[in-house]
Chains A and B, each alone.
Chain A
Amino acid sequence: MAAPFTLRKIGVPPNSANLTEARRRVFDYFRAACRSIPTIMDIYNLQDVVAPSQLRFAISAQIRKNAHVTDPKVIDLLLFKGMEELTDIVDHAKQRHHIIGQYVVGEGLVQNTGSKDQGKSDFLKNFYTSNYF
């Protein structure tokens, strides 16, 4: 398939010389991830659940979480982990509920837009979840 081929091409070499090179690698990784989004949606049947833009948002949010890092070696390691995760997803090593739970925006996407919970207090929301709060 084309997607794993693209991924194999963009491995993460061990060392970036400086911050600029690390940034370049981050953007390359983001591009590869976004390009593999159609494959992911096809593998896990996410056509009715999410839009590709939401997945792109999720990926960029994860990258932005580490935007404060300045050490190129740390960036390399984070990229390595990100690459590992992306390879797992594209290789169908994960399952649908993993993707939905980890990357679909919002915990409990379906419930958040429901009208039942809008006007309720914290007490009632906690009460419906469990006895211990």
Chain B
Amino acid sequence: MGVGILASRAIRPASRLLRSQTSNLSLRTIVSKPELQSPEAAAASQPAEPPKNQILPPRNPVGGARVHFANPEDAIEVFVDGYAVKVPKGFTVLQACEVAGVDIPRFCYHSRLSIAGNCRMCLVEVEKSPKPVASCAMPALPGMKIKTDTPIAKKAREGVMEFLLMNHPLDCPICDQGGECDLQDQSMAFGSDRGRFTEMKRSVVDKNLGPLVKTVMTRCIQCTRCVRFASEVAGVQDLGMLGRGSGEEIGTYVEKLMTSELSGNVIDICPVGALTSKPFAFKARNWELKGTETIDVSDAVGSNIRVDSRGPEVMRIIPRLNEDINEEWISDKTRFSYDGLKRQRLSDPMIRDSDGRFKAVSWRDALAVVGDIIHQVKSDEIVGIAGQLSDAESMMVLKDFVNRMGSDNVWCEGTAVGVDADLRYSYLMNTSISGLENADLFLLVGTQPRVEAAMVNARICKTVRASNAKVAYIGPPADFNYDCKHLGTGPDTLKEIAEGRHPFCSALKNAKNPAIIVGAGLFNRTDKDAILSTVESIAQANNVVRPDWNGLNYLLLYAAQAAALDLGLIQQSAKALESAKFVYLMGADDVDVDKIPKDAFVVYQGHHGDKAVYRANVILPASAFTEKEGTYENTEGFTQQTVPAVPTVGDARDDWKIVRALSEVSGVNLPYNSIEGVRSRIKSVAPNLVHTDEREPAAFGPSLKPECKETMSTTPFKPVVENFYMTNAITRASKIMAQCSAVLLKK
């Protein structure tokens, strides 16, 4: 008992009667002990450390991560809280603690960005160091003894938290980040329970960064994660830190919008609610959302996403970690096109009346009508076209149905006549997306990866930044967020490189791991064979295709293309569409509607009333990618599955079920009636589509291809994607995408 308690006794009532009653009650004054005042005294009063030879329980790295030792003989041993861990040589103290299973709080450190070390939340105590060190910046030295749970470290965290909260506004009830805010979580876990700030808080003016990112800069804690992300990963130098001290502001110095296609990722990166999603503002709290882990289909990359839904509505889309494909980022189109899923949805089967208007009918009637008409048509006048968002199961059933009706005309959008799917290397990204990091020279032929596949572009940007790789580009003038040499605009430049006359050839010969990326937009050209054989001859001459490194890549445009080519949905004859009498469009909106003859009977099966619906005679509503379980193969041959997150709209059905029901009504007996049956059928055609979450590389190289005798035309390459924000039915129906394309595209 100290003097304090005796003194406080004097304050209490001295009456004996009252004392006996109040002795156990809450009338206690706050007493502070010397041990609580300073950390050193507390450390002195703690019991001695446990003996060294005590066996400590085994610890796993944070998050179940695996540690990669680049040089196993260069491993260092450090001690984290008494536990010895082996870490590779260049690791920082924070990374060593992560390997030891200790998660150190941090705000400014992010594993994929450069180290800033300005938040000071990661301070830990290191023996023989006069002050606590910032673990994110200090390299781990051999024999270092790191202590993360001592009173000094705890006091440091409480102090940093107190400082951060001093100027932070009391916005939790109106801040979108509430519930998933790093500041909230870390102040509960590591902060003190009271503050001492009694002055006025500072406030900062909000910046306008565009229709996607909402900024409340008063909440910013100046961690500079967004600045580092924009300059390193996105490659644009839009954001910066202005001012000094407490007057620091993050912003664009001029009144500029964030036009980068990766701008939505700063929303995930910002630890507080300073940068939030503008379409998602005030819509939902994160605890009322159900997250479903699925795959994105807006481009051929197949980024892993988590769809957050509340009931039947998709509220937002968040990226998932996948080291091989998209790391932790997704493009703006993936992130913000979800509101297109609520507009222009087809929900009932419809038949066009004699006066030209659509009338809603039941499934029985619609399928009966289609089944009747399909028997009145000759078998080679039947054409089936799969769309860019079709999954492998529905394409398999469509191909089986059309083939059993006697026709060979079933293909996927984007594959022009003459594209053959015999050899898989000729339409896949043979260096996988993660393998692009090892390339030191890129040659982009007719492709603008920034608008076609934003995650591939991010990977190229990462490689350029990390290892100073060189990028050369042949095609129409486009903007890149890394240094890129524009060699030419057309096939002439290709011919020059193939013949060795171009100055670029020497760079190509000297590169150790060259990567050639050919865009799938070239598949639509008439001289496609000549161009592709020229590219392959360049590859042969410069040792691009080797047993240990295959640098010849084809970048596909649509999510359904790789699976379609694996299943064999290719266009055999050029005149098939012009002489068709029965056209079955399964979500195909990019088909040139004028090419369909006026007397053809068109059935449109899809989820949005987009372009091709206006020509259709019968509409069959299908489910979108967030509502069905479908298999998609990305451009590198990685098979993934979407998972249904929300129920289907109205009377819509799954694509493959519609085709299977139609086949039964038409009298064609397909040998499967469940999704497992469809998958076993796919297994006999393309077994790699059944092995989800596995990449199947191409088996043979270009050596098997026959020589091509055609000549190249001289028309320059055209850009494939005109408007990045409006490429498929869902994005065209989305209001956010419309705002973006109106405001953010460079005119």
Contact = CB atoms under 8 A, between A and B. Distances in A.
A66 B249 CA distance: 79
B660 A131 contact: no
Contacts of A123: 660-661, 664, 673
B652 A131 contact: yes
Nearest to A122: B673
Contacts of A124: 661, 664-665
B664 A131 contact: no
Contacts of B718: none
Interface string A120-133: 11111001100100
B364 interface: yes
B648 interface: yes
A116 interface: yes
A116 B368 CA distance: 11
Contacts of B363: 127-128
A127 B661 contact: yes
Contacts of B657: 127, 131
B364 A121 contact: no
A interface, by DSSP: helix, strand, loop or mixed? Answer: helix
A122 B673 CA distance: 9
Contacts of B623: 131
A42 B665 CA distance: 44
Contact of B654 (A116, A128, A131): A131
A64 B173 CA distance: 62
Contacts of B664: 120-121, 123-124
Interface string B649-669: 000111001001100110000
A116 B673 contact: no
Nearest to B669: A121
Interface in A98-121: 116, 120-121
B18 to A, nearest CB: 64
Contact of B364 (A116, A122, A131): A116
- Interface hub of A122, A123, A127 (most chain B Cβ within 10 A): A127
Contacts of A116: 364
Nearest to B364: A128
Contacts of A120: 664
A69 B654 CA distance: 47
A131 B653 contact: yes
A121 B673 contact: yes
Interface in B591-630: 623
Contacts of B652: 131
Interface string B662-683: 0011000000010000000000
Nearest to B362: A128
Interface string B266-284: 0000000000000000000
A120 B664 CA distance: 9
A88 to B, nearest CB: 36
A121 B657 CA distance: 13
A121 B648 CA distance: 23
Contacts of B673: 121-123
A121 B362 CA distance: 18
Nearest to B650: A131
A41 to B, nearest CB: 33
A116 B367 CA distance: 13
A121 B673 CA distance: 10
A117 to B, nearest CB: 9
B661 A131 contact: no
A43 to B, nearest CB: 34
A66 B652 CA distance: 42
A118 B85 CA distance: 71
A80 to B, nearest CB: 42
A99 B519 CA distance: 67
Interface in A50-79: none
A4 B364 CA distance: 47
Nearest to B622: A131
Contacts of A127: 363, 653, 657, 660-661
B665 A131 contact: no
- Interface hub of A121, A124, A128, A131 (most chain B Cβ within 10 A): A131
- Interface hub of A116, A120, A128 (most chain B Cβ within 10 A): A128
A123 B660 CA distance: 9
B718 to A, nearest CB: 41
B581 to A, nearest CB: 26
Nearest to A127: B661
Contacts of B654: 131
A72 B648 CA distance: 52
A72 to B, nearest CB: 50
A115 B713 CA distance: 62
A127 B620 CA distance: 13
A120 B669 CA distance: 12
A116 B664 CA distance: 14
Contacts of B362: 128
B712 to A, nearest CB: 49
A123 to B, nearest CB: 4
A127 B657 CA distance: 7
A128 B648 CA distance: 14
Contacts of B661: 123-124, 127
- Interface hub of B362, B364, B623, B660 (most chain A Cβ within 10 A): B364
Given A121-B664, A122-B673, A127-B363, 7 more contacts: A123-B660, A124-B661, A124-B665, A127-B657, A127-B661, A131-B653, A131-B657
26 contacts: A116-B364, A120-B664, A121-B664, A121-B673, A122-B673, A123-B660, A123-B661, A123-B664, A123-B673, A124-B661, A124-B664, A124-B665, A127-B363, A127-B653, A127-B657, A127-B660, A127-B661, A128-B362, A128-B363, A128-B364, A131-B623, A131-B648, A131-B652, A131-B653, A131-B654, A131-B657
Interface of A: 116, 120-124, 127-128, 131
Interface of B: 362-364, 623, 648, 652-654, 657, 660-661, 664-665, 673
- 8 closest A-B pairs by beta carbon, nearest first, are A123-B673, A127-B661, A131-B653, A131-B648, A128-B363, A124-B664, A124-B661, A127-B657
